[in-house]
Amino acid sequence: MTSPGLRIVIVDDDSFALRILGAFLAAAGHQVVAAGTAAEAWQHCQDGCDVLITDLLMPGEDGFSLLARLRAAGGTYVYAIALTASREAVERRRALEAGADDFLAKPVEREELMARLHVAARIVSLQHELVARASQLDTANQRFRRELDAAAAVQRSLLPGKPPQIPGLSFAWRFAPCEELAGDTLGLFQADEHQVAFYVLDVSGHGVAAALLATQVARQMTPLMSAGSLIKVPGDGPRSYRVVPPEEVLRALNTKFPFRPEVPQFFTMAYGLYDIRSHRVRLASAGQPHPLLVRSSGAKAMPLSGNPIGMFGDDAEFGVTEFQLEPGDRLVLCSDGVVEAESAQGQQLGIPRLGELLTGARGEDPDVMLTRALAGLVAWRGGAPAADDVSLLAIARMS
């Protein structure tokens, strides 16, 4: 016995053959819909069917045309069996090209019909299973997409909101993940009434794992005197505090986030403090690209080296510098997704070219400067998508 329950549309202009075929199928427990023309059969197929059994040679629209129309319509796959009294290979090849899966010789023998339907039932069962699995996969993908969107929203919420409102200073930043979730992040906030804290951070890799670490580190970089903050810690006296110097913050992060072979991640970071009163900047680096100081004379890379966080344990060394930001100066930090962006010829943008892009807009507001720098970066890539996250942060002392 073949598996029962198939919905089968049969079409033949020979009414006697149609009745015989229908009786065989009904006796086997199938739901049978009979049609005398291809047009009538097509209408029944629109209502849904598992198997189509069609004569090939009929007046008007023939079986070849019906098969071609069935395949062109797409949708749920219908197993198609062609009825033919011909033994000609050409006719069979034409039917296969039109969309037939199998053949039955006329007059139809019951045993041969049941054997063909055994095959059809297996194919239909697999089709139903594939449809069900595709539906489950689609549901899972939609859920995953919602979770990714939610995670990306959390990550964006850790970025700076409104820039600090400080007379004589202007701030700007750009954050462009190359995937839904980024391994980059950046921060800009007032550590206290006299100092502005700022950083750019870049976790190795991309995607969820990198974003989780970036988010975890960003939560440590808060000006609130909480148990987890590395920026501001209690002072010696009552209700007093101390703003931690940048190099000490990097050392604390290096201790908190050691490299683990089972989770091979590390991150680079540049972190600095801007003294609003003196316009002095103290900046420390853990493997980030060199900061750029853009002045009226051009852009100068500050050769600030250092080891990535977590890679060298207690032996890690971090570069630190202190300098004055003069009126008209701009300080720009970036992630390696900027300077390592490649042209169509495989050449990296590099620090000097980034300096040229920034110098071309050195008299502009830092927001305009970064907009032009990003436009130049896209042009350098030839319009190709970014291969890495892109982060830029600029601080300007206005003239």
* 158-168 residue pLDDT tens: 889 888 899 99
Averaged pLDDT score across all residues of the chain? 90
Longest dimension (CA), the chain: 106
Q: How many domains does the chain have?
A: 2
- Residue 139 within a domain: no
- Give the torsion through C-alpha atoms of 196, 202, 203, 205, to 10 deg: 160
Question: Taking a C-beta distance cutoff of 8 angstroms, is the pair 355, 159 a contact?
Answer: no
Tokens of 152: 């990306």
- Residue 78 within a domain: yes
What does the DSSP assignment read for 323-344? EE--TT-EEEEE-HHHHT-B-T
* Residue 240 structural domain: 158-397
Query: Could you tell me if 254 and 333 lie in one domain?
Result: yes
- Residue 318 within a domain: yes
Give the chain's radius of gyration (CA, Å): 35
**243-267 pLDDT, tens digit each:** 999 999 999 999 999 888 877 789 9
38-46 and 63-73 helices, crossing angle to 10°: 20
What does the DSSP assignment read for 274-292? EETTT-EEEEEEESPPPPE
pLDDT tops 70 at residue 227 = no
- Residue 309 within a domain: yes
pLDDT score at 104: 87
Query: Could you tell me if 204 and 323 lie in one domain?
Result: yes
**123-154 pLDDT, tens digit each:** 888 888 888 898 899 888 898 888 888 888 88
Query: Could you tell me if 345 and 267 lie in one domain?
Result: yes
Query: Could you tell me if 126 and 164 lie in one domain?
Result: no
Mean pLDDT of 307-327: 93
Query: Could you tell me if 162 and 128 lie in one domain?
Result: no
Query: Which CATH number is 163's domain given?
Result: 3.60.40.10
- Residue 278 within a domain: yes
Q: What is the pTM of this model?
A: 0.71
Query: Could you tell me if 51 and 181 lie in one domain?
Result: no
pLDDT tops 90 at residue 42 = yes
Query: Could you tell me if 167 and 115 lie in one domain?
Result: no
Query: Could you tell me if 183 and 296 lie in one domain?
Result: yes
Query: Which CATH number is 66's domain given?
Result: 3.40.50.2300
Question: Taking a C-beta distance cutoff of 8 angstroms, is the pair 313, 300 a contact?
Answer: no
Q: Which residue has the tokens 């919602």?
A: 146
CA distance to 126, 185, 251, 388, per residue, from 210 (Å): 39, 10, 20, 12
Last residue of a domain, one of 132, 150, 184: 132
Of the candidate ranges 168-182, 206-220, 226-240, the one whose mean pLDDT is the lowest: 226-240
Q: Give the side-chain half-sphere CA count within 13 A for 80.
A: 28
Measured in whole angstroms, the distance separating CA 116 from the mean position of its chain's CA atoms is 45
Query: Could you tell me if 223 and 343 lie in one domain?
Result: yes
What kind and span of H or E run contains 254? helix 246-256
Share of the chain above pLDDT 70, in %: 98
